[in-house]
């Protein structure tokens, strides 16, 4: 049986750690690509990772490269490439720079792996995945953003910490844009089957939701010189697994919604069934009035982001 070929574009902390998780889970053979200041950097990281295989007991092959020809024929391409926001850099500067990087990467992926499924991890996520769709020209089912899995993981972590229970017993869902406007779904949150509203009062639940929204910023504040990468990479690996193993996982992802939830052609976090075809179905839930209002607010924020990006790109 042929192994899946997984290419990770961007060999920084998130990209390299995604390669690490995917290799340790034996999801396929992995190509780690970057265009760094030192050309051998991705080769060094790949070789280091390969040398952990005899210890950890996995047989995935990891190749480091700066040449997109090495990624040809990939089944899944994970895009983590982009810059982090630096002191003094405006939101528009970040948006413009990363949109240009995404345009370049998506064009290369279109040429080298026209049948791949793309998972976008780069920020600002909702805009970057929209850009990847436009430039690649792929069907929207094959261009997905990693956001909901990470956001939900943070939400579940904080709930488990507050309740003193295993994270395995917590089932939860967040929707909407990635970041401050994400929408908690208390009606879809339970602990061992018990609705979370029976275990936590509203004020405590609100504070946990707020911490989940700001989860990335909290880590940036603690690290001082970097941002989160273990959890974002693990979330990405879960999505890769669902695709290469055709697991039909029902998980939240940034998916392209047209008529669904009356979004009108934008990427937002929604529950999807993820399998070998990418987004095989968007699951539409019956939202409460408050959830509808919060979700629409989040969608509006995504639309504003896309308009800003297109203006910066002169489109």
pLDDT tens digits along 46-99? 999 999 999 999 999 999 999 999 999 999 999 999 987 666 667 778 899 999
* Catalytic residue from among 5, 154, 156, 178: 178
**Residue tagged 């869902």 (tokens):** 173
Q: What is the pLDDT of residues 142-201, one digit of tens each?
A: 999 998 899 999 999 999 999 999 999 999 999 998 877 888 888 899 999 999 999 999
- Please say whether the beta carbons of 79 and 112 come within 8 A: no
Q: Of 145, 163, 184, at which residue does a domain stop?
A: 145
Residue 241, domain extent:
148-309
Say what the pLDDT of residue 259 is: 95
215 in a structural domain? yes
187 within a domain of the structure (yes/no): yes
Verify that 169 and 299 share a domain, yes or no.
Answer: yes
The answer to whether residues 185 and 173 touch, using CB atoms and an 8 Å cutoff, is yes
CA dist 173 and 95 (Å) reads: 27
Query: Are 122 and 155 in the same domain?
Result: no
Residue 297 is part of a domain; what is its CATH number?
Answer: 3.90.110.10
Same domain, 79 and 187: no
Number of separate domains in the chain:
2
Pair 135, 168 in one domain: no
pTM to 2 decimals? Answer: 0.95
20 an active-site residue? no
User: What pLDDT does 303 receive?
Assistant: 94
- CATH number of the domain encompassing residue 11: 3.40.50.720
């Amino acid at each position: 049986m042929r192994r899946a070929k997984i290419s990770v574009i961007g060999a920084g902390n998130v990209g390299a750690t995604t390669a690490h998780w995917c290799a340790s889970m034996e999801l396929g053979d992995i190509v780690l690509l970057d265009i760094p200041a030192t050309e051998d950097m991705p080769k060094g990281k790949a070789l280091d990772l390969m040398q952990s295989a005899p210890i950890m007991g996995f047989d995935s092959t990891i190749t480091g490269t700066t040449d997109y020809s090495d990624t040809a024929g990939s089944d899944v391409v994970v895009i983590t490439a982009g810059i982090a926001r630096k002191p003094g850099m405006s939101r528009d500067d970040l948006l413009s720079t990363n949109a240009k990087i995404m345009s370049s990467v998506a064009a290369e992926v279109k040429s080298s792996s026209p049948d791949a499924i793309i998972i976008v991890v780069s920020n600002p996520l909702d805009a970057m995945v929209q850009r990847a769709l436009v430039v690649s020209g792929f069907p929207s089912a094959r261009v997905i953003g990693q956001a909901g899995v990470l956001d939900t993981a943070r939400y579940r972590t904080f709930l488990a910490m507050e309740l003193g229970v295993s994270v395995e017993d917590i089932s939860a869902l967040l929707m909407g844009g990635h970041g401050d406007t994400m929408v908690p779904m208390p009606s879809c949150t339970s602990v061992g089957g018990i609705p979370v509203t029976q275990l936590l009062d509203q004020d405590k639940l609100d504070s946990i939701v707020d911490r989940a929204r700001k989860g990335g910023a909290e880590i940036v504040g603690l690290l001082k010189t970097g941002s989160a990468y273990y959890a974002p990479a693990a979330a990405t690996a879960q999505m890769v697994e669902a695709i290469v193993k055709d697991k039909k996982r029902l998980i939240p992802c940034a998916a392209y919604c047209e008529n669904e939830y009356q979004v009108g052609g934008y990427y937002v976090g929604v529950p999807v069934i993820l399998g070998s075809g990418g987004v095989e179905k968007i699951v539409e839930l019956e939202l409460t009035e408050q959830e509808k209002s919060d979700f629409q607010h989040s969608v509006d924020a995504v639309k504003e982001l896309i308009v800003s990006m297109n203006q910066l790109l002169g489109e």
